[in-house]
Amino acid sequence: MNKQNGNQESLVFSYLELRKILGILGTSLPFILFIGAWIIFNTGLQRSISYYYHTDMGDVLVGMLFAIGFFLLSYRGYERKDDLAGDLGFVFALGVALFPTTAEGATGSPIIGYIHMAFTVLFFLILIYFSLFLFTKTDPEKSPTKRKLQRNKVYRTCGIIMSVCVLLIALYVLFANMLEELFKPYKPIFWLEAIAILAFGISWLIKGETLLKDKV
């Protein structure tokens, strides 16, 4: 093996590991926040993942968002728009972390909460874009393998799940006056966000070839 091939294989390995780490961060985030707050601090389930910012798990939430953001910044794809998507994901993840959601019952201007909501929506849209449009790309000069076609189904399924979750959250917020009294005890926003983040994590784990790897 020459030095160039060795460097190339090392680079591919690094990108696979990067994707796996993003997948692990995504799939673990809701569980770490919920279980950590419950077991360590005896804090109940919050109305959304963002609300953990106002609990003793707030630093953990911010730290994991920063980690996800910097890993997205390190992502490099086949085209410039792939890299741009990673860069935007970094900006949006940091925006979610640095502009916390408004605490329940808080007084004063809600502008920070609105900024947080905007960054959250943009962050999920970028994650959806990765799953539906970037991960499903195939080299036009090659026929997709059977495993690649299977992975594409997973990517699209994850993208659709994230899209549906974001839509349902938007509808719940839009019609909060009608729905909150009925559904508030069940914390629907938390569960929808958790499902969307799990879908994001699974998509990146598959991209990192944790599962459905092409047979050599």
- Determine which helix (DSSP H) or strand (DSSP E) holds 2, and give its type and residue range: none
Residue ranges per structural domain of the chain: 3-207
Nearest to 129 by CA among 161, 85, 169, 71: 85
Nearest to 23 by CA among 214, 213, 204: 204
Question: Residue 38 is encoded by which pair of tokens?
Answer: 């419950």
- pLDDT tens digit at each of 216 positions of the chain: 444 444 444 544 477 888 888 999 999 999 999 999 999 999 999 999 999 999 999 999 999 999 999 999 988 777 788 899 999 999 999 999 999 999 877 766 789 999 999 999 999 999 999 999 999 988 778 888 999 999 999 999 999 999 999 999 999 999 988 888 889 899 999 999 999 999 999 999 999 888 888 876
- The dihedral through the CA atoms of 132, 210, 11, 67 has a sign that is positive
Contacts of 55 (CB under 8 A, 6+ apart): 37, 41, 43, 46
Which string of b and e fits 127-151 if b means at least 16 CB within 10 Å? Answer: bbbbbbebbbeeeeeeeeeeebeeb
Nearest to 166 by CA among 114, 124, 113, 123: 124
What is the pLDDT at residue 4?
A: 45
What is the pLDDT at residue 191?
A: 97
- Determine which helix (DSSP H) or strand (DSSP E) holds 25, and give its type and residue range: helix 3-39
End-to-end CA distance of the chain: 18
What is the pLDDT at residue 107?
A: 64
Q: Which residue is it, tokens 């047979």? A: 215
CA angle 97, 27, 8 (to 5 degrees): 90
Per DSSP, 104 falls in state: T
pTM of the model: 0.89
